[in-house]
Structure 1
């Protein structure tokens, strides 16, 4: 498989923020923004590998700016790094007040997507290479983030084993 440039996977989605998309503060529901983030990340990953993908993890999503009702939200994503069957996807969301033209980055996130075959088993993906200074900066930090995700996943598995499926309010007496 030949490596591909980051730009080949670029995905952009814009949406008008309407009343059903907002909370009692008149701002976009965080969960709605997270759904947009997962959607564009998946599209970017499929564009890169041309295979079905599943979301393996989402790094922290920090809400930096509120997205007001009536604004637009623009979510951009592209693959920054690959490792065998997984892809790191960088996502940036920008809010825009259409009347003033004021734009602000409201969140950034990294997602790990895994390509799967017809049996839903992990499948190899092509490499990716950066072409711009910004892409190179993201690519340079990707191995460190990949290792961090592996450690975090190990901790998550330990938590799942420790707490299992028992209900926390039902105690053995």
Structure 2
């Protein structure tokens, strides 16, 4: 399978990405006052080839637009842009980590492997938390989890995503196991 660890690096948003985002932001700044309407956010993200669902977009806009003015400044948008880029990278890396565990290329991994990885990443998961995550992902009781769908949602809301080198740790753990 090769050494995936060398492929994993600390993710950083490039200057080009920021410049492109800023230029796109400015295109949607219709009044030239350094602000974009929160109603335009979906279009701004789409122009940057970033997909975001309506619910997430509304939540983020509400979070940034504390005064409920209906506008975001570049600095506020930049926070959301960087968050979305990192989320997309997190998802890509998570899929890669699970690919390492998917010995048969079936798109699933045994729940035991998921449990082992979760324990290996950090010892702050209680058995109850592990059981809950596994129950939420193995909804059909098959003993496997589908990492193309539900697993990402569950993992994203878990403590794993607050770990500093979360994916590097996951990859390293998977390689030591196999």
User: TM-score normalised by the shorter chain: which range applies?
Assistant: under 0.3
Greater relative CO, 1 or 2 (CA 8 Å, sep 6+): 1
Higher strand share: 1
| Structure 1 length-normalised TM | 0.27
| Structure 2 length-normalised TM | 0.26
